[in-house]
Amino acid sequence: MKSFTEIVGNTISKLIKSFWFSCAAAGLTSYLCLALFHFNGTDPQVQDLLIPAVTIQLIAFTLYFALNYHKGFHKYDSDLIGKAFIGISKKCRIFADSLERLTDHKLTSALDGFKLLEEEYSDDLDTCEQAVLRFYIGRCYDIMGYFPNALKCYQDSQRLGMKDNILPLLIARCTGSNGDTGEAVQLYTSILSNKKSPYRLYVRTDLGKMFLRENDAATAMKWFSEAIEHRQNYADALGGAAIAQTMLHHFKEAEELYKAAIVNRISDSRGFTAYYKEVQAAALLELHRDSNSNNDSSDTKGVS
């Protein structure tokens, strides 16, 4: 929840914006009206009134844009980007366009734009801009599934001074996706111990998913159970636990967890359902094969 001071601050900011917009609108309206009177010849002294009308309009617009200059150029991730790529220069426009394409999931085009910016403007980028740029190149690689490339970019961004709390989580995820399970556990544990990190909520479900990829359903279930107990990333934790229990052939418990995940609105419920049914079918087939194998062994012993 927002604090009282944040609410008051936001309210005052909106009032100031409304004031400047009102001044601008008043100045523009006065200018148009006076110009109309002038061209109709209804007021011979109208030229003396045009100057203050235009002045009011220009002052209002100038003050408004001066107050909001640092906010108007980043449509996305303004807190993460900070003061990097602020302005109307070509490099700032390239960055903004590339970020727009990334948000629209045009990953190849976004990556090309970020890399072009890095190559052609390498001498014009300050350390902050370099860190932000490496981060977003990493995001493109990450979403595309090129985890080794993404990890290197994230580490470069961290080395260049980016301190956003999202970065350790992304580094841990890429490390786990690269198969470095032990190192990933250490990185996740570090995030979990940082009580100021808002991304602690995702650590236990991330670890559970990582161990599912390693086909270690028992360890995965341990992490999902802890996440459920702490109600962290709750719907995903229920869904992950359903998958883990299915892999462990605990089908009744898995079905209950699956239904609970759907009720709690797990993200991409259709994709999750398809994944759950696929794992369930594989687990049932595995159970059937094990049963047949045991029967064959019993028959062989009986013959001997």
Q: Which pLDDT tens digit goes with each residue over 84-99?
A: 888 778 898 899 999 9
Quick one: pLDDT at residue 48?
59
| Mean pLDDT (whole number) for 247-271 | 96
DSSP assigned state of 184: H
Check pLDDT > 50 for residue 6.
no
| pLDDT per residue as tens digits for the range 119-139 | 999 888 999 999 999 999 999
> Which fold does the domain 196-293 belong to in CATH?
1.25.40
Q: CA-based diameter of the chain, in Å?
A: 123
Q: Look over the chain and give the mean of its residue pLDDT values, rounded to a whole number.
A: 83
SS3 (DSSP) at 24: helix
pLDDT tier at 237 (50, 70, 90 boundaries)? very high
Please indicate whether the domains covering 85-162 and 196-293 agree at the CATH topology level: yes
- The CATH number corresponding to 85-162 among 1.20.120.1230, 1.10.10.10, 1.10.1240.10, 1.25.40.10 equals 1.25.40.10
pTM exceeding the 0.75 threshold for the entire prediction: no
pLDDT value at residue 293:
67
Q: Is residue 69 pLDDT above 80, yes or no? A: no
pLDDT more than 90, % of the chain: 61
Q: Which residue type sits at 223?
A: W
Integer Cα distance of 156 and 291 in angstroms: 52
Dihedral, 132, 137, 142, 145 alpha carbons, nearest 10: 180
169, 191 in Cβ contact below 8 A? yes
Model confidence at 175: pLDDT above 70: yes
Q: How confident is the model at residue 78 (pLDDT cuts 50, 70, 90)?
A: confident
- Rounded percentage of the chain residues whose pLDDT exceeds 70: 71
In the numeric block, the tokens 């493109």 are attached to 140
pLDDT score of 82: 85
Q: Which pLDDT score is estimated for 2?
A: 39
Report pLDDT for 71: 44
**How is the chain split into domains, by residue range?**
4-67, 85-162, 196-293
Helix (H) or strand (E) holding 112: helix 107-120
Question: Is the confidence at residue 304, as pLDDT, over 50?
Answer: no
Spatial distance between the Cα atoms of 62 and 48, rounded to a whole number of angstroms: 23
pLDDT at 63 over 80: no
pLDDT at 292: 72
Q: Which amino acid, one-letter code, is at 103?
A: T
